[in-house]
Amino acid sequence: MQKKTANITVNPRPFAYRHRTLYCDGVDLTTLAAEHGTPLYVYSAAQITERFQLFQRAFTHEVRPHTICYAVKANSSLAILRLLATQGAGFDIVSGGELERVRKAHKPALKKVVFSGVGKQLWEIDAALDADILLFNVESEAELHLLATRAEARSKVARFALRVNPDVFAETHPYISTGLSEHKFGIDIKSARAIYRAAKKSKWLDPTGVSVHIGSQIRKVDPFAAALTRVTSLIADLRKDGHNIRYVDAGGGLGIDYGAGAFDPAKQVEKYAAALSKGLANEPAHLLLEPGRFIVAQAGALLTRVLYVKRNGSKTFVITDAAMNDLIRPALYHAHHEIIPVREPAKQSAKQTAGKSSSLVVDVVGPVCESGDFFARDRALPAFKPNDLVVLLDAGAYGMSQTSNYNTRPRPAEVLIEGKSARLIRRRETMRDLLAPELNGINH
């Protein structure tokens, strides 16, 4: 299914059946499973590029200077970072490790990095200062003091924005809501003006911007407008105090539709751009945006194979070779992912449909030794059998980046689809990889 705008054609997902077999763009997923094994993360380069360009076009249309700083935490693959950097992306990072990933992916992009996060360590601040990043999003007075101290020690001026907390409610999962006064993120917006005044006294600090981020997977755009209305009011006060505010960082958080219903990403970005413009009004500062999930989530999927189908009492379990260590979102957030077979089920005749359903109500689970290791519960799905290939859709964001080696399980491989070709961008971990860091007196 495709949605068209005047400027670009966008597929909500790059996964579609051809000749009853599921493809990602021009590549057959059965071929990928045979070549690379399962579990396997599969991403569409075309979809990632299209989603990024949606933001570029929307804010160009709004005639507003802007930089799209992709949120690295959503998916930190070097190949994906490099792909986005070549499109002109900046990057939103939350750790020194993510800074190093940007450096390795595309060193010139360091100039367009914003560094967020409540717990920046000394070595991370030093590395970011040495890289001459665009902006530190500072989240506490203690962090600002440390930033000034480290900037002085390295004879560098640190550009910063306070991440203010506007106390705006965003309807999302409580674990990914960040804009209320009770959350650990940001600084009370009512305290910000005094902190900027104090910072102005240091020659090692440059109060360059104001930052806000109210949460993730937000589907309604009104909270974004409300947050920016409060931020622009603060910026007006800061300018009265003599601060040269050049950047306003609106954060990220625009949500997608994880379900099977119709979803128009282009229209959603247009509504988002209009809401931000409403909140900014006539504010001329350079706009920084930090989308992550919206760019990569629907571009990726987790390909897995059915190991067993079993019944326990009234329950039927479909056990796959992927587990919660490969995709933790369902276990962590009770998140929904559509699950579809790689081999398209045959269409039933009206007579067959009247006779019985071809679907079963099942739990889809993994091999990990936890009852919380599930991908779906009590869901009507096609009748799977052992060795069937199935796909968990919309897994491009917070899939691979949240994987672990729980139960001493190697993490999956990753493949990037570029038209009709597939490129391995991360090999599957081996047992040697897992055990290599451990020091236990055994000679290797």
Query: What is the set of active-site residues?
Result: 369
Distance CA 381, CA 360 (A): 5
**Distances in whole angstroms, Cα of residue 341 to Cα of each of 232, 337, 390:** 49, 13, 4
Distance CA 174, CA 152 (A): 39
Helices 122-131 and 96-105 sit at what angle, rounded to 10 degrees? 30
Contacts of 276 (CB under 8 A, 6+ apart): 224, 225, 228, 250, 287
Residue 114 contacts residue 90 (beta carbons within 8 Å): yes
Distance CA 113, CA 123 (A): 17
Distance CA 412, CA 127 (A): 30
Return the closest-CA partner of residue 217 out of 183, 252, 264: 252
C-alpha Rg value of the chain to the nearest Å = 23
Distance CA 161, CA 195 (A): 11
Distance CA 407, CA 71 (A): 29
Output the six-digit token pair for 300.
Answer: 């990726």
Residue 264 contacts residue 3 (beta carbons within 8 Å): yes
Residue 166 contacts residue 183 (beta carbons within 8 Å): no
Let me know how many helices (H) and strands (E) the chain has, helices first.
13, 23
Question: CA 371 from chain center: how many Å?
Answer: 26
Instruction: Provide the CB-side half-sphere exposure for 210 (13 A, CA).
Output: 31
**Distances in whole angstroms, Cα of residue 412 to Cα of each of 16, 23, 358:** 22, 19, 31
- Cβ-in-10-Å burial (0-12, 13-18, 19+) of 350 comes to exposed
Output the six-digit token pair for 58.
Answer: 């929307």
How many C-beta atoms surround the C-beta of residue 241 within 10 A?
Answer: 13
